[in-house]
Chain A
Amino acid sequence: MTAIALRVNQLLDRRSLPVAQLLLRVITAAFAAILVIGALTTEGFLSVDNVKAILGSTAFVGIIAVGITVIMLSGNLFSLSLGTTTAVCAMLFLFALQAGIVVAIVATVALGAVLGAAQGLLIGSIGANAIIVTIGAGALQEGGAVWASGGSAVFPPKNAPGMSFLADTILGVPFAVYVLVVLAVAGEYLMRRTRFGREIYLMGENKRAARAAALPIVALTAGAFAVAGACAAIAGVLIGAFNQNASLLVSGTFTYDAIAAALVGGSVVTGGRGSIARTVAGAVVIATISDLLLLRGYSTGVQILVKGAVVLVVVVLLHINQREGER
């Protein structure tokens, strides 16, 4: 019976697939056309300054997105609290500056990694759902941050020691962009050339096979979330230095922007497929869209709306393409 049902389903799929695919290609093409036409007709879009602005706004989202890509590749969907982690880390960084810049950076990245690893441990060891654990962890981080800060914004100590370089521009490009490039290269190396990275890919591709091969599932999951937390912390350091103050408001739309960047870059939420390099490209696309909408005077609401539509279309497209590839 099951075999017959399967066969029928396959037939149904085969018939309905090309139509869906055609439709989605048309949508993608239309979207690309809108983007290109928008770019050509928007005043000030094709200027050097604007390209720099796009790169600048890519950097923060991109750095968080590098981390979220590792989570996605590991087969654990995505985290819904990385924006909060970024904000909490920015607050800690500015507070810890009184102990010196090196201590502050190390402490902040350590906090991010620990926050991530704790969630990863839970998710990896007992199979708790990643989305729900990270939502709960986000509420916990918010509560903890308000408790520790008394609910007010954190400012750096007077005469903060040598943090200005973090917010500088070098050769006209913000420092954060260089950090993103370094992180992306390091991340690609980690994921492609090290045992940790390859095992993450395998675990994301086929968790049961990974279990059967006695891969350390718990450690790998904790590791993936720790990397993501550390990336969020690095973004927190840069944002704290850039804004010269930090509160929970920092989190903004970072969580969703980072997820959108990874998805647009072609990472598959169910794991195993995608790469950090493609995520960075996705972050550039998201930043470009935001910039274009901003230049044309669209509200925040429209920007979120468009990002949501992009996520939806890309998720569906990727899914269909992947199924075609399996045939």
Chain B
Amino acid sequence: MSSVALKDPRRTRELARTSAPFLILALMLVAFYVLPQLSGREATVFNVFNSMQNFAALGLVALALGLTMIAGEFDLSVVGMYGLGSMLAVMTGKDSALLGLGIALLAGLFVGLVQGTIIAKLRINSMPVTLGGYLLLLGLTATIGHDDSQSYPNLSVGSSLDSVVAQIFSLRSLVAVGVFVVVTLAMRYTRLGRDIRAIGGDRRASRTAGVPVDRMLIGVFALSSVLSALAGALIAYSLATATPDPGLAPLIFAITAVLLGGVTLAGGQGAALAIAAGAITLSLLQELFSILGTPTYVSSLITGGLLVLVTIIAAPDLKQWWRTVRTRRGGPTASAASVGSSPAATVTGER
């Protein structure tokens, strides 16, 4: 397979895959600048600031989900932990915001460790486990919040978190940027990045090669829940309120951002920086909707459509399917192409 002839196109494809998130971001930036002008409006620096505010909350959720996807798993519970994080911060942080944040992060750590341990030690599909986890967290959030939105009395916390820094940032979005920088550096310059990709790409081989698979998996899920809790706590202080049910919108954002960032569902590929690019692209898109005054249902249609679209592009059997269709049109040798298809169809199974 590693013949010289194959090497070049492969490298080209790899380059295309890794640079695509940033190209899409560049296109988005152009659209962000040009589209409002076409309808007599203008994108201001404040709109960029707003996008980064959105990125501060949902970008972290995207990173949380993305890390589990790189490791070949899927954490559906991120949006549950996001909700619980905000509710805990509001309910326990009335006297001290730091205490509330700390409790939210500790809860995230605990939830992540439990889910990760179940998934790693029992070798069980992470989707049903984290679905149960999501429901549990949703119920817990609603129970703690007495089935209602809870407001946070200390408004100064939010305004200091959201005060403008360097025109387009706030303390809150700088926290998110900082997290992305740390994770990017850790994945690039330590074993961690290689190990996470290894257990996502070929778990059995990485076990044999001495990667502490179980510990890595538990760590990834713990990090995922902590990041989601952090995002939830910060947004709750910013809005001075926590809702009993954040809905599926944060999850839709996160999945779309991660897929835009070039992470595949099969695992083994992806980088934090590209996930950031995907999340910023989506944040700009959502801000664009509000600049253009797009009706909610239209943005809902576009968001849903975009998710389906990136899912199609990221689908493991897309190439196979296209080849089969073409061959079928061409001649009778078609059925051979559809046998032996990629085993990646079962996304989160043990490899």
Q: Tell yes or no: A305 within 8 A of B by CB.
A: yes
Known: A127-B316, A127-B317, A131-B76. A312 touches B132 (CB 8 A): yes
From residue A25, how far is it (CB to closest CB) to chain B in Å? Answer: 15
A131 touches B127 (CB 8 A): yes
A315 touches B255 (CB 8 A): no
Q: Tell yes or no: A190 within 8 A of B by CB.
A: no
Known: A211-B339, A309-B132, A311-B132. A136 touches B308 (CB 8 A): yes
Q: Tell yes or no: B318 within 8 A of A by CB.
A: yes
Give which listed residue, A141, A207, A313, A319, contacts B122 with CB less than 8 A: A319
Q: Mark A289-327, 1 if CB is under 8 A from B, else 0.
A: 000000000011111111111011101100110000000
Q: Tell yes or no: B326 within 8 A of A by CB.
A: no
> Which of the 9-residue segments B26-34, B180-188, B277-285, B298-306 touches chain A?
B298-306
List A contacts of B259 (CB < 8 A). Answer: 132
Q: Mark B209-238, 1 if CB is under 8 A from A, else 0.
A: 000000000000000000000000000000
Q: Tell yes or no: B16 within 8 A of A by CB.
A: no
Q: Tell yes or no: A55 within 8 A of B by CB.
A: no
List B contacts of A20 (CB < 8 A). Answer: 122
Known: A270-B346, A319-B122. A139 touches B303 (CB 8 A): yes
**Which B residue sits closest to A255, measured CB to CB?**
B248
Q: Tell yes or no: B22 within 8 A of A by CB.
A: no
From residue A143, how far is it (CB to closest CB) to chain B in Å? Answer: 3
- CA gap between A5 and B311 in the complex, in Å: 34
List A contacts of B288 (CB < 8 A). Answer: none
**A-contacting residues, B330-351, CB 8 Å:** 335, 338-347, 349
Q: Tell yes or no: B244 within 8 A of A by CB.
A: yes
> Which of the 9-residue segments B3-11, B40-48, B135-143, B166-174 touches chain A?
B135-143
Q: Tell yes or no: B251 within 8 A of A by CB.
A: yes
**Which B residue sits closest to A307, measured CB to CB?**
B135
In this complex, the interface size class of chain A, counting residues with CB under 8 Å from chain B, is: 35 or more
- CA gap between A139 and B141 in the complex, in Å: 23
- CA gap between A308 and B143 in the complex, in Å: 13
Q: Tell yes or no: B207 within 8 A of A by CB.
A: yes
- CA gap between A128 and B251 in the complex, in Å: 17
- CA gap between A211 and B296 in the complex, in Å: 42
A308 touches B134 (CB 8 A): yes
List B contacts of A312 (CB < 8 A). Answer: 129, 132-133, 136
List B contacts of A80 (CB < 8 A). Answer: 248
Give which listed residue, A122, A127, A212, A301, contacts B308 with CB less than 8 A: A122
Q: Mark B125-158, 1 if CB is under 8 A from A, else 0.
A: 1011101111111111111111100000000000
Chain A interface, >50% SS class:
helix
Q: Tell yes or no: B265 within 8 A of A by CB.
A: yes
**B-contacting residues, A110-136, CB 8 Å:** 122, 125-129, 131-133, 135-136
Q: Tell yes or no: A51 within 8 A of B by CB.
A: no
- CA gap between A68 and B177 in the complex, in Å: 40
Q: Mark A184-195, 1 if CB is under 8 A from B, else 0.
A: 000000000000
Give which listed residue, B125, B308, B340, B349, contacts A133 with CB less than 8 A: B308
Give which listed residue, A6, A135, A307, contacts B252 with CB less than 8 A: A135
B297 touches A146 (CB 8 A): yes
**Which A residue sits closest to B324, measured CB to CB?**
A125
List A contacts of B135 (CB < 8 A). Answer: 256, 260, 304-305, 307-308, 311
Known: A127-B317, A139-B304. A315 touches B139 (CB 8 A): no
**A-contacting residues, B109-137, CB 8 Å:** 118, 121-122, 124-125, 127-129, 131-137
From residue B215, how far is it (CB to closest CB) to chain A in Å? Answer: 14
Give which listed residue, B137, B297, B314, contacts A143 with CB less than 8 A: B297
Q: Tell yes or no: B82 within 8 A of A by CB.
A: no
Give which listed residue, B147, B300, B346, contacts A142 with CB less than 8 A: B300
Closest 7 CB pairs of A and B: A305-B139, A301-B142, A139-B304, A308-B135, A308-B136, A312-B132, A127-B317
Q: Enumerate 28 A-B pairs (CB-CB under 8 Å) in ascending A order.
A: A2-B204, A77-B128, A80-B248, A125-B321, A126-B315, A127-B321, A128-B315, A129-B347, A132-B307, A136-B307, A137-B304, A138-B248, A143-B298, A147-B297, A211-B338, A256-B131, A269-B127, A300-B147, A301-B144, A305-B139, A305-B140, A311-B128, A311-B132, A312-B129, A312-B132, A313-B132, A319-B124, A320-B122
